[in-house]
């Protein structure tokens, strides 16, 4: 949905936040705005609080090297997008800002500069660009990916390639008194990420979600969703009830060899630092419908404000070009920000094993896109989780009935999101 700039002018919080913006940024606004218009000064507003200090250090180095002043604005993080909308609407927007997902770009895309012709976009890993109507509006911060994290001493990925081999593997581990797989009791860990697969295996996952939202199709009519029901039944039959498995317990059981596979992402790697693993770990595709790719996506993307002067837009492009192509910029992205690079021209050494698997998959263009970024707002926790919990509590619910329940839950989520 495209929103006009005048719509944002009606936000009730504008007066309060405009005051706040003025206090932050307008002390010497006349001089600042003149420098910005001339491309001598740029500003950055972004959502990842954990890299704020490092980004300020990078900005200082860039200023020393080029003479262009770079100011990094702070954010509290949780209400970042609301703050961004107000700043953009009040003509006090930054030169560069971040967007977390596609649905945010839909709301403010008129403020996003079309990067399609910039040189640095050639380095974006396949399908990782922030795209709208065929044009590129954002460059990814870094990559995150999820799949089956496995114990290399126990699991051979070549033997887990489809539903039948998945079930056979779980049966084998049951005979050996080892948990074949476990999920954790977080809504995304229990169903959010797993539900991603059947959507992303469609020819056009975004269009599929839109058709589902419009009530034009049903999940029950697609074999990928029916097979998801079968996979969930196998997990119900052979895994600990995920409602009784915390994230910490899931990691601990895997790290101590009690569980052979867990469905997780590379973000879990630091949690293994608390254990002395005596085996190697890897990440392999979840084999729904024979899927052979890791699900890899982007948490946030860099975007340039299209509502600025040509000189300021050029200065913002120059800064991003430096960050994406210089040796020093690469060092910051990998070593200081600790991102898995989403650009093919960045080499990353000493990544943890799971992050390295994600990077290798992206560079080899063997990835499955994230579809959950298109889901109705809050639908994973509010709508998809309850029928999933019911399924794990009641083994009389068939896989077919489970998918019917998910389909009904989606209808409710789509109506609530209108």
Residue 98 host element (H or E): strand 96-99
pTM recorded for the entire structure: 0.75
Q: Hunting for tokens 């967007």 — which residue is that?
A: 99
Give CATH 3.40.190.10 domain extents, the chain.
41-142+299-344, 144-296+368-417
19: which residues sit within 8 A by CB, 6+ positions away? none
- For 41-142+299-344, CATH gives 3.40.190.10
Q: What are the φ and ψ backbone dihedral angles of 302, each rounded to 5 degrees? A: -80, 135
Exposed (0-12), middle (13-18) or buried (19+): which is 278, by Cβ within 10 Å?
Answer: exposed
- For 144-296+368-417, CATH gives 3.40.190.10
d(CA 238, CA 234): 6
User: pLDDT 10s per residue in the chain (418 long)?
Assistant: 333 333 333 333 434 344 334 444 444 556 677 777 778 999 999 988 878 899 999 999 999 999 999 999 987 656 788 899 999 999 999 999 998 777 788 889 999 999 999 999 999 987 789 999 999 999 999 999 999 999 999 999 999 999 999 999 999 999 999 999 999 998 989 999 999 999 999 999 999 999 999 999 999 999 999 999 999 999 999 999 999 999 999 999 999 999 999 999 998 888 888 898 999 999 999 999 999 999 998 878 999 999 999 999 999 999 999 999 999 999 999 888 888 999 989 988 888 899 999 989 987 889 999 998 888 877 888 999 999 999 999 999 999 999 999 999 999 999 987 7
d(CA 387, CA 405): 6
Q: What are the φ and ψ backbone dihedral angles of 193, each rounded to 5 degrees? A: -75, -40
| CA-based torsion, 211, 214, 219, 222: positive or negative | negative
Q: What are the φ and ψ backbone dihedral angles of 94, each rounded to 5 degrees? A: -80, 170
């Amino acid at each position: 949905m495209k929103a006009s700039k005048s719509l944002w002018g009606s936000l009730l919080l504008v007066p309060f936040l405009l005051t706040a913006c003025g206090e932050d940024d307008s002390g010497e606004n006349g001089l600042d705005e003149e420098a910005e218009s001339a491309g001598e000064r740029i500003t950055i507003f972004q959502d990842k609080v954990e890299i704020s200090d490092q980004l300020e250090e990078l900005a200082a180095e860039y200023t020393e090297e080029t003479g262009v002043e770079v100011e990094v604005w702070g954010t509290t993080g949780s209400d970042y997008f609301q703050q961004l909308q107000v700043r953009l609407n009040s003509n006090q927007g930054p030169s560069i800002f971040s967007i977390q997902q596609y649905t945010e770009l839909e709301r403010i895309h008129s403020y996003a500069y079309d990067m399609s012709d910039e040189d640095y976009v050639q380095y974006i890993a396949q399908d990782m660009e922030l795209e709208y109507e065929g044009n590129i509006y954002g460059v990814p911060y870094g990559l995150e990916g999820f799949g089956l994290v496995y114990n290399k001493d126990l699991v051979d990925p070549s033997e887990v390639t489809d539903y039948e081999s998945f079930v056979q593997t779980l049966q084998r581990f049951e005979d050996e008194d080892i948990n074949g797989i476990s999920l954790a009791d977080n809504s995304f860990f229990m169903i959010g990420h797993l539900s991603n697969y059947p959507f992303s295996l469609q020819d056009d996952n975004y269009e599929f979600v839109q058709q589902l939202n419009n009530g034009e199709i049903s999940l029950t009519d697609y074999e990928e969703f029916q097979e998801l029901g079968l996979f969930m039944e196998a997990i119900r039959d052979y895994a600990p009830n995920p409602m009784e498995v915390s994230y910490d317990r899931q990691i601990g059981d895997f790290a101590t060899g009690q569980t052979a596979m867990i469905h997780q992402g590379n973000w879990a790697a630091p949690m293994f630092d608390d254990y002395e693993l005596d085996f190697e770990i890897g990440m392999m595709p979840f084999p729904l419908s024979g899927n052979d790719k890791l699900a890899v996506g982007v948490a946030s993307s860099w975007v340039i404000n299209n509502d600025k002067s040509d000189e300021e837009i050029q200065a913002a492009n120059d800064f991003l070009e430096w960050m994406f192509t210089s040796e020093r910029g690469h060092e910051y992205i990998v070593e200081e920000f600790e991102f898995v690079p989403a650009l093919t021209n960045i080499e990353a050494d000493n990544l943890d094993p799971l992050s390295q698997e994600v990077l290798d998959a992206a560079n080899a263009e063997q990835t499955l896109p994230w579809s959950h970024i298109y889901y109705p707002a809050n639908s994973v926790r509010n709508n998809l989780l309850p029928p999933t919990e019911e399924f794990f509590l009641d083994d009389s619910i068939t896989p077919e009935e489970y998918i019917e329940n998910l389909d009904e839950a989606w209808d409710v989520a789509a109506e609530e999101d209108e």
